[in-house]
Amino acid sequence: MSETNKEEEKAVDTITAEASKDIDHLTDADEKEIEQKMIKTILNMPKEVQDRFKVLHMLSDKRSKLNDEFNEACKKLEQ
């Protein structure tokens, strides 16, 4: 197994756990529903493309968290 495949496999192994944790930080019921639909859609995809979308989903979650932290920091600076 190549090093890239090992890294992808490791990322895929953690996606479900991270997705579950990420749902907890959402406050809006609509956002939770959308998050659950995305996870379900990814899990229903063909296996050969599923891993790519899991990684993209994980990266999107991280980007959202960073954006939220940035916005909070901006609000603190404005006060």
Average pLDDT over residues 1-10: 63
The residue with greater pLDDT, 18 or 70, is: 70
The residue with greater pLDDT, 25 or 72, is: 72
Query: Cα–Cα distance between 53 and 75 in angstroms, integer?
Result: 33
pLDDT of 17: 58
- How many structural domains does the chain have? 1
Domain that holds residue 48: 3-78
Give SS3 for 23. helix
How does pLDDT run across 26-74, given as a tens digit for each residue? 567 888 888 889 999 999 999 999 999 999 999 988 998 899 999 999 9
Query: Cα–Cα distance between 44 and 21 in angstroms, integer?
Result: 20
* Length of the chain (residues): 79
Rg (CA), the chain: 15
Contact 42, 54 (CB under 8 A): yes
